[in-house]
Chain A
Amino acid sequence: MPIDLGRQQLRTNPCEPAVSGETGPPRSATQVETSEQPEPRPHTRRERGIEAVGFLTVVEHAEHGLFGGYLVLNPAGRPLEFHCTTPIRPSRAQQILYGPTLRPFLHGEQIGRTLLEKARKPVAAVLVDQRDTLALSEHVDTPVLLLTGDDSGGGAHHEGLVDLAVGDQCLRIEPDCANDAHTIAEQLAVWARRVDLHEPFERIRQAIEEARKSSQ
């Protein structure tokens, strides 16, 4: 009897193993939990390993506010974990009272720390692509590095940061966190040779958009 490939039988698991392949469990995603009050889980230097790197970005949506996304990748660039926030929008009082410190507060403390506390996999470093998100480094023990567009300086916006050359890509780090800079740079250089360190941020943005659409 022929296999009926009617629409109702089309798979929903994108990486279902082949019929004839002994491929073990499917590579599917598992939604772990959804919680309003995450259990704090400190990231200590002891937990840090070189087998994973985190990528954190914040997307600003005109209608809904700020969405945060945190992606943990293994050295092959494969996703291990993904965490994203529901949108937050600061009140008018917060905007007045926090003034210019509002964005670092939202990016670093509110969104960044919350996301990292949810992650299970320790990472060697967290890469961010916005200066405001670098404020996360005050709240976690894991090194937080800013990935900038080029290695040609960066102007006043990046004043006070320490440069780290990683292959042909440029990272910056807060001076207080620069102790491990060279070790981190060596670890990331392996990645940078194989993948564009900017590319995972685009994945996060697409995933946030997908999650936003799915919740509408």
Chain B
Amino acid sequence: MNDRRTNARPPREEAPQPAVHSWFPPRGPRVYHARLNRGKPQVIRVPVLAAQPRAVSIRVERLPIRVRSFTFDPAAPADRCAEGTKPHARHDSNCKTSRPPARTGSTPIRPPGDVVKLGDRLNYLLQPSLEVLLAERSLEFPFRPFSYQMEGVAFLYPRHAAILADEMGLGKTMQAITAVRLLLRCGEARRILLVCPKPLVTNWRREFEQWAPEVPLMVVEGDAARRRWQWQSADVPVRIANYELLCRDRDLLDGLSDGETDSAQRRADPLAFDLVILDESQRIKNRRSTTSQVCRAVRRRRSWALTGTPVENSGEDLVGIFEFLAPGYLNADMKPRRMGRAVSDYVLRRTKEQVLADLPPKLMRDAELELTPEQRDTYQMAEDEGVLKLSSMGGEMTIQHVFELVLRLKQICNFDPATGASAKLSRLEADLDEVARSGRKAIVFSQWVATLRELSRRLSSFGPLEYHGRIPQRQRDGVLARFRDDPDRHVLLMSYGAGGVGLNLQFAGYVFLFDRWWNPAVEDQAINRAHRIGAAGPVTVTRMLMVETIEQRIENVLQQKRELFETIFSGTRPDRNLGMTREEIFGLFELRYPRAA
């Protein structure tokens, strides 16, 4: 061991006595001796040079801030013009109304995507909520709107081009009317044209009376002279016209003020509109149709489209509607996903599942039935003969020929023409018996008037009412009123064409689809006559389908096509709005579409 003490400095007066230390191996026992010297410790002075202290100053500066400032004109058009547009008569003082309380909701009005200047965008974002705007203008409602409906109004109100594509039954009509009301009250619109299918004109008039009783409106109708006067009349802010009438008055609408673009001239033009709304706008999906061309030709500043089915068969349907909203913005070559991104700021689409937690459930039942023996014999014979005939036609075969066979077979699925046997009718009678005994009401849909007439005859014990194309227009409202009010009327027989859109039949708890339409979207529209806001309870929908027939083959094809809608309108469930192509219709009989023809 190397002891440190052996290194201690020895006292000066004595010679050091180092310890003997060897590392050679000892030859025998060896003793180590260490001697500790007890001398006086020596003091060593070490100078410590302390550094001169220095002060270090840290300057804490104001952080550099830039300020962006915006000023706004608080005197909105609303504030200046509201007095000029309100109180036009028809307000029903007895109407039980509710004002949306400004403090119970806060729906912001967000800037549309095509507003690009920051100052303009901030002008939207910094405005009070829609509820405050409505309360400010004393706009009252017969019922308190749902929050999603307020969002719909806030979507439409600032937009010059928009599609409100809510699922049927969510109240597109009310949302459009409220947005119209706000535009009128704010002085941002003074002449508005609403175009809808003819059967819906009375429905729109009724809805306006309910949701905007102070807004004067005019239904364009009557002979040519009367219509000319109606089109040119300046003192009515809202006009309602049907598509067919608009097409008839095309020359009249085109006749005046061609080439006028100056705003002063347009103000003087009685046929220029601040807003044109197309209800059921899928009517213009075909860009080459007369209806589409006429609608696009109407002079206007804002264009809104209302539809629950913006895409029925393909993305081209949406392109057709956009030709009205913003010509050239979409083209048919766009991939669905890209098209979806492009339209996202223009289209508002909500489904019932998304927004109506309280809506009664819709119970879907697929009644898959076997043909009766009589029907099976007739069906088999008709199909065999039909396919042979089509095959023999070769290149002369057209889509019409295939359609004829499909329709023939579907009719046999309803009734055997020879014997009248019907598996569907047997099932329907059993179900209706239960419906009637429980005091409920049911709607039965078919695509054929003949089928509805036959059903009417054979279901007479249920007091059926008919609503289809052969019922005169003037009688239709009465039919619906009787169905609603007469407790002995349990069944309404309705065609898809006449009763598919716009009607409110939420008092019916049962819907039967006696035969299936080509396009599930049309079926959905029919179902939603009953399953909509105001429905008192669950709505039971029974879809009748004959197994191993053309009906089942069609259903299988449509089943595979429901993803396109989801791709375009991501976030909403797959729509049932996909029809069939020509190739698919030929494929029902394993025939090839003759392209050369």
Contacts and interface: CB of A to CB of B under 8 A. Distances in A.
Interface stretch (A19-27, A138-146, A181-189): A19-27
A18 B301 CA distance: 8
B117 interface: yes
B67 A5 contact: no
A18 B103 CA distance: 30
B127 A10 contact: no
B187 A18 contact: yes
B125 A203 contact: yes
A110 B67 CA distance: 12
B108 interface: yes
A31 B136 contact: no
A151 interface: no
A24 B75 contact: yes
A162 interface: no
A210 B106 contact: no
A50 interface: no
Interface string A99-110: 000000010001
B119 to A, nearest CB: 3
Given A1-B258, A5-B327, A110 B71 contact: no
Interface string A79-110: 11111111011100110011000000010001
Given A23-B77, A199-B106, A2 B298 contact: yes
A203 B121 CA distance: 12
B567 to A, nearest CB: 23
Most buried by A among B103, B122, B161: B122
A84 B127 CA distance: 16
A7 B328 contact: yes
A18 B188 contact: yes
Most buried by B among A12, A19, A120, A206: A19
Nearest to A4: B327
Interface string A5-36: 11100111111011111111111111111111
A95 B60 CA distance: 10
A27 B72 contact: yes
Nearest to B62: A110
Nearest to A94: B60
B274 A19 contact: yes
Nearest to A114: B65
B396 interface: no
Interface string B45-67: 00000000000001010111111
B65 A15 contact: no
B188 A203 contact: no
A207 interface: yes
B261 interface: yes
A5 B108 contact: no
A27 B114 contact: no
A214 interface: yes
Most buried by A among B74, B191, B261: B74
Contact of A6 (B66, B120, B129, B328): B328
A2 B126 contact: no
B508 to A, nearest CB: 40
A126 B320 CA distance: 52
B533 interface: no
Interface residues of A, number: 74
Given A19-B263, A21-B187, A195-B102, A76 B68 contact: no
A84 B294 CA distance: 48
A12 B129 contact: no
Interface in B181-219: 183, 187-191
A82 to B, nearest CB: 5
A118 interface: yes
Contacts of B63: 88-90, 94, 106, 110
Nearest to B303: A5
B260 interface: yes
A80 B75 contact: no
Nearest to A2: B297
Contact of A195 (B128, B183, B272): B128
Contacts of A30: 70-72, 119
B465 interface: no
B326 A6 contact: yes
Contacts of A15: 76-77, 123, 188
Given A79-B127, A195-B132, A32 B69 contact: yes
A3 B74 contact: no
A86 to B, nearest CB: 4
Given A18-B183, A21-B77, A195-B128, 16 more contacts: A2-B296, A7-B114, A14-B112, A17-B77, A28-B72, A31-B68, A77-B128, A77-B132, A81-B71, A82-B70, A93-B58, A94-B63, A106-B63, A110-B65, A196-B102, A214-B118
27 contacts: A1-B258, A5-B161, A5-B300, A5-B303, A6-B326, A6-B329, A12-B114, A14-B120, A14-B124, A17-B77, A18-B187, A20-B272, A23-B81, A28-B119, A34-B68, A36-B66, A76-B128, A78-B74, A79-B72, A80-B72, A81-B72, A88-B65, A90-B63, A196-B102, A199-B106, A203-B125, A203-B126
